[in-house]
Structure 1
Amino acid sequence: MSTIRPLIPLLITAGILIGGNGLQGTFISLRALQEGFSTSMIGVIGTGYNIGFAIGCIYITRVIRAVGHIRTFSALAAIASAASICMVLFIHPSSWFAMRLVQGLCFAGLFAVVESWLNARVTNATRARTLSLYRFVDLGAVTLAQYMIPAVGIGGFELFTIISMALTLSLVPISFADRSSPEPPEHVRFDVRVLWKVSPLATVGCIVVGLTNSSFRSLGPIYADGIGMSVTSIATFMSVGIFAGVVLQYPLGHYSDKLDRRLIILIATFGAFAAGLFLTFVAGTNALLNFVGIFFFGAFAMPLYSLCSAHANDHAAPGQHALVSAGSLFFWSLGAVIGPLFASFMLDMFGPRALFIYMVVVLMGFMVYTLSRMMVREGVPTAERSMRFRNLLRTSTFFNKLAAPPSEKD
């Protein structure tokens, strides 16, 4: 425990950020609905966050190298906090789009600072425990944060203030984390051509995950509200989908290390596809059936990013793993920009059930593409794979380094 203790302030900061980010995603969608924004406009606002996140992923290492970890974190936390307050001062779709874009950029940088700092401080002896604690913090913070919404209510200014306070208070533990700033991280280069050349399937898979999972995070509350769920049930609906994402991560990852990884990707995609059909045509307005459906959707859909990243690394040459990691995050961001935007127009035209109809169509297309790739390219034999499956968060490229055992680093 003494070896982990110096990392606890960083983990607390990560929990505050992850919880605040998870709370904002659900709350802003519901509050925008209450303010009379159209579903398509709510999708545009969600897209603003993802555009900012993509920009932040590309440029944040340059900022950290220029001014250091703590200055970068302090500036981004202050900007994100101010953006949260601006959203309650200026309630208009255009200003909310701009503020969500700013928040996306800031959160990409904030996660990068924390995870790069953790990477600098973690040792081989503490890596596994740190990663386990980080995933526990991630799951606990996001799940618990959802219930701030029914506890406080979506009207008024209170939740905006709570989010702003959380971002400001996240400065406290990280300020006491260490008296010295770690060495600046190596610049993460984004060469989008590398991932496509290494694995077209992984590239398309990361885009598909962005198209589907980001639409669930942005528009899931709108779907749940549209079928008549209460605010508490909406929080539960989102929590169940997020929590389910860890249930099959390790079983699917374990078998993907032993079998053709593309087969496991196909199985996971089919599972999410089947759950989407269940939510569309069977669940109806029954809350329990919707909870069951979203549990299975999250259980199969959420691990797809990690599976696709692992498949890309199977084909990566020595020295390409960092570029593959950056490319995976970039293509996920690309899908996450397009997904909520397109899905929201579908919801506007056809109602809440169009959300999962849209996802079913996307997932069906990915299944066909996966089968076609399995016919034209041989799988990588297990003995020749340079990396095993890793359970990844889409927070920053530095999480990939944190999750990689020392023997698997470039």
Structure 2
Amino acid sequence: MFKVLASAWALFLGMLLLMIGNGMQGTLLGIRGEIEAFSTVEMSIVMSAYFVGFLGGSRLAPEMIRRVGHVRVFAALGSLISAVLILFPSVTEPWAWIALRVIIGFGFAGVYVTAESWLNNATTTENRGQALSLYMIVQTGGMVAAQGFLSLGDPAGFILFIVPSVLVSISFAPILLSIAPTPPFDTTKPMNLVELYRSSPTGCVGMFLSGGMMAAQFGMSAVYAAQAGLSVAEVGSFVGAIFLGGLILQYPVGWISDRMDRRVLILGCSVIGALACTAGVLLSPTVPVVLTIGFIMGGMINPLYSLLIAYTADYLDYSDMAAASGGLIFINGLGAIAGPLAIGALMTAIGPQGYWLFVAFLMVALAGYSAYRMTRRAAPSADETGAYVPFSPNLSSVGVAAGQEWSEAQSDDAEDAGDNGWDEGEDEPDILPTSGSA
């Protein structure tokens, strides 16, 4: 781990600052929208707009990089993000915020694609798994740390919008000045969505539902907390608890998933999350209650994202996974766009509790569909499944493909060694080969 950090410290430092800026603006807009008396529906559209831009950026950024190179795309999108962050308090109109959020989402998607291709090039097959884990920790840690910066100023003023703009501007300095030579970049044709669905219906349906859950925790959590009457510091603590839960519980869930039918674990995580969110509907939104439920919700939602990718990979040849990752992220993005709109409608109809009700509904739907699919197809045996790789929802298709490449390489090493699991005294498990058949 220290070797990886030493070789790519500039990238990790830059991404940490970038994620602090991104985390601040996401929470800050939910609070400022309440101050500006934006309606819940207006704020839901504002939050949904980020995912519209993110989805577009995920599709277009690879072609932009192929045409003009990593450095130009990275610098251009970084400057655009920094400028847009300053504009939010200058034009406090819903239509303007919607347009700005589309631009922000597009910019961050392009930055992630660029950074992850650099990271992929700066690491080897042997340490890529560690690098991706560290990258995910940096991303999530930045989102959590961002919530502490909300106490630096008044959300009704300008200073809290200037801080993330400065952080984003600074974040590119260590990356652009210290990063290794830019790697070659090849675009991958996405897999046909019909073909992807036929390979793994649970993966596709689950990724769509997961997108709605991700939008709830990343886009609408601050809107809910502000409407529930929490203070600025308490809103930040709530959002931080969600991401902290995802960070802490990701690895235990992953360890379990490599030893059982992933659909059973998907069902279990969904049920636990649904019960927690149901408690949010029934209980008063006191600070201890919302922090506890937020931690559990985040701890279930984030692993579900990685579980669904791992489960889909179990039914694909490795050569197809790079293309499939783009399709899965596209499906997830569609769910993320629809999520805030549905939450906004529910919160308008029944109040802040609509936030918890929507997430609970999605988790019940995922649990039910997973149970149904268990009756339609048997699970692959333990020696036919690949390894669980922890993925951040902010990861682009480049990062997902790199993670699957590492998993496959580990599988080949284990197969060559004739192993079937852990060897006593090893630091990491031998990963078993992935089957390409259903």
| Cα deviation 1:112-167 (Å, max 9, x = unaligned) | 11111010111234324423432332232111111111232211111221222122
CA distance in 1, matches of 2:140, 2:131: 14
CA distance in 2, matches of 1:187, 1:255: 32
Map of 2:388 onto structure 1: 389
Counterpart of 2:170? Answer: 169
Give distance in 1, aligned partners of 2:247 and 2:207.
18
Change (3 A) 1:146 1:4: closer
Aligned CA distance change for structure 1 residues 200 and 162 (closer, same or farther; 3 Å): same
Distance 2:121 2:47 in 1: 32
**Shift in CA distance, 404/66, structure 1 to aligned 2, threshold 3 Å:** same
Matched with 1:36 is 37
Q: Distance in 2 between matches of 1:89 and 1:216?
A: 26
Deviation at 1:278, TM superposition (A): 1.2
**CA distance in 1: counterparts of 2:188 and 2:90, whole angstroms:** 37
Contact 1:116-1:185 at 8 Å conserved across structures: no
Corresponding residue for 1:265?
266
Distance, in Å, in 1 between the alignment partners of 2:76 and 2:375 is 50
Cα drift, residue 186 of structure 1: 3.7
**Residue 350 (structure 2) pairs with residue 327 (structure 1):** no
Give 1:338's aligned residue: 338
> Which residue of 2 is the match for residue 293 of structure 1?
293
Distance in 1 (alpha carbons) for counterparts of 2:331 and 2:146? 28
**Mean CA deviation greater in 303-312 or 243-252:** 243-252
- 1:278 maps onto 2:252 in alignment: no
Q: Which structure 1 residue ranges, 5 or more long, are not aligned?
A: none
TM-fit CA distance, 1:324: 2.1
Q: Give 2:132's aligned residue.
A: 131
Q: Which moved more, 1:44-53 or 1:85-94?
A: 85-94
- 2-structure distance, mates of 1:150, 1:288: 20
SS of corresponding position for 1:76: helix
1:164-203 alignment runs, 5 A limit: 164-178=165-179, 180-187=181-188, 189=190, 191-203=192-204
Q: State the distance in 1 between where 2:347 and 2:76 align.
A: 37
Change in Cα spacing, 1:126 to 1:253, as seen in structure 2 (3 Å) is: closer
Q: How does 1:2-401 map to 2 (within 5 A)?
A: 4-178=5-179, 180-187=181-188, 189=190, 191-282=192-283, 284-385=284-385, 387-394=386-393, 395-401=395-401
Cα distance between partner residues in 2 of 1:227 and 1:178 = 44
Give how far 1:363 is off. Answer: 1.7
Q: Is the 8 A contact 1:118 1:402 kept in 2?
A: no
Counterpart of 1:80, as a letter, is I
Provide the C-alpha distance between the structure 1 equivalents of 2:174 and 2:324, rounded to a whole number of angstroms: 32
CA contact (8 A) 1:280 1:356 kept: yes
Amino acid at match of 2:374: M
Once residues 257 and 287 of structure 1 are traced to their aligned partners in structure 2, the CA distance between those partners, rounded to angstroms, is 36
Residues 341, 70 of structure 1: alpha-carbon distance in 2 compared, 3 angstrom cutoff: same
Contact 2:202/2:373 (CA < 8 Å) preserved in 1?
yes
Distance in 2 separating the partners of 1:378 and 1:125: 33
Query: SS of the counterpart of 1:88?
Result: coil
Q: Distance in 2 between matches of 1:17 and 1:185?
A: 25
Per mean C-alpha deviation after superposition, the further-off stretch among 341-350 and 249-258 is 249-258
Whether the aligned pair in 1 keeps the contact of 2:190 and 2:324 (CA below 8 Å) is no
The separation in 2 between residues aligned to 1:382 and 1:178, in whole angstroms, is 40
Equivalent pair of 1:62/1:187 in contact (CA under 8 Å): no
SS in 1 for 2:229: coil
Shift of 1:197: 1.9
**Does the CA-based 8 Å contact 2:86-2:165 persist in structure 1?**
yes
**In structure 1, distance between residues paired with 2:168 and 2:286:** 37
| Structure 2 unaligned regions, length at least 5 | 410-433
Amino acid at match of 1:343: I
Across the aligned residues of Structure 1 and Structure 2, the Cα RMSD in angstroms comes to 1.8
Task: State the AA in 2 paired with 1:290.
Answer: V
Change (3 A) 1:321 1:373: same
Moved more, 260-269 or 290-299: 290-299
Question: Which digits, 9 at most, give the CA deviation of each residue in 1:270-299, with x for residues without a partner?
Answer: 0110110111113x1321122111111111
Instruction: Please say if residues 391 and 400 of structure 2, whose CA atoms lie closer than 8 Å, have aligned partners that are also in contact.
Output: yes
* 2:70 partner letter: H
Tell which deviates more after alignment, 115-124 or 96-105.
Answer: 115-124
- Whole-angstrom distance in 2 between the partners of 1:12 and 1:341: 34
Q: 1: CA distance between counterparts of 2:141 and 2:249?
A: 17
What's the CA shift for 1:179? 5.8
The ranges of structure 1 where at least 4 consecutive aligned residues each deviate by more than 6 angstroms after the TM superposition are none
Task: Give SS of 1:155's match.
Answer: coil
- 2:152·2:160 contact (CA, 8 Å) conserved in 1? no
